[in-house]
Amino acid sequence: MKDQLTEDSRDNDDLVYRISHDLRASVRALQELPAWLSEDLAEEGVRLGDEPSATLRLIQSHARRLDEMLNGLLAYSRVGRLQEIVTVRPQDVFQQVLAEIDPGPEATFFTQFLPVEVRAGASDIARVFETLLSNALHHGGPKPKIEIISCRSGDVWELLVADNGSGIPEGEKERVFKPMVKLVSRDEDEGGGMGLAILRKIADHYSGSVHVEDRRRKGGTTFRVRLPILAPKGDGPR
């Protein structure tokens, strides 16, 4: 029964991946077409009024939101798949991800990386850091202060990422891990709402765990991720 559920889950991931991948080309075109239309009309000497221009911008905005959702679904379907199982040092992955997201000069990081190596999917470990750092930067206000602790506890890699934001309401601490759940309106944040759902799926895939807790003394939120040092046998690119 468990094998059948696993196979069904893989089939679902394959379907989500194919649909999301194919839809992205059309969604990207929707983002570009309003600009092309404006340029074509300008060349014909037609000047758009305020309301038509606002409508075209709205189309682009909704297309960006849809693209973010599809990006999230693609990442969700790739967890544990389509990647090599490698041995990585968490601090190396952290530095790579930090360079890619470019947090800006206002962000402050306090890090402690104790010696540990993790064998898992390269994309999955990078996604763990990308999700937690992006979340901390987003909720940390204009001057985010982010604490990161990476260590080994027996056969488990433990990662804590804490921010100085307003925290997560008690009743929302499990709901934030569900797909496409956001605690603010999409007018405030156009993200797809998939980051923490992907994080939970990564933890589940490797028989690990992730949960959120308050930083009562300093305020903000701490995410605690625990993953086995070694990926379960049989995991790999599919």
pLDDT tens, residue order, the chain (238 aa): 445 445 556 667 777 777 777 888 888 888 888 888 888 888 888 888 889 889 989 888 888 888 888 888 888 888 888 788 999 999 999 999 999 998 988 999 999 999 999 999 989 999 999 999 999 998 877 889 999 999 999 999 999 999 988 888 888 888 999 987 776 555 555 556 789 999 999 999 999 999 998 765 667 889 999 999 987 654 444 4
DSSP letters for 33-100? HHHHHHHHHHHTTPPP-HHHHHHHHHHHHHHHHHHHHHHHHHHHHHTTSSS-EEEE-HHHHHHHHHHH
- Cβ 111 vs Cβ 94: under 8 Å: yes
Q: Are 137 and 146 in contact (CB under 8 A)?
A: yes
d(CA 112, CA 2): 39
Task: Indicate if the alpha-carbon torsion angle 192, 193, 194, 195 is positive or negative.
Answer: positive
Give the number of other Cβ atoms within 10 Å of residue 225's Cβ: 23
Q: How many CA atoms lie within 13 A of 225 on its CB side?
A: 31
Give the global pTM.
0.79
Residue closest to 223 by CA, chosen among 153, 135, 144, 145: 135
CA distance 6 to 49: 55
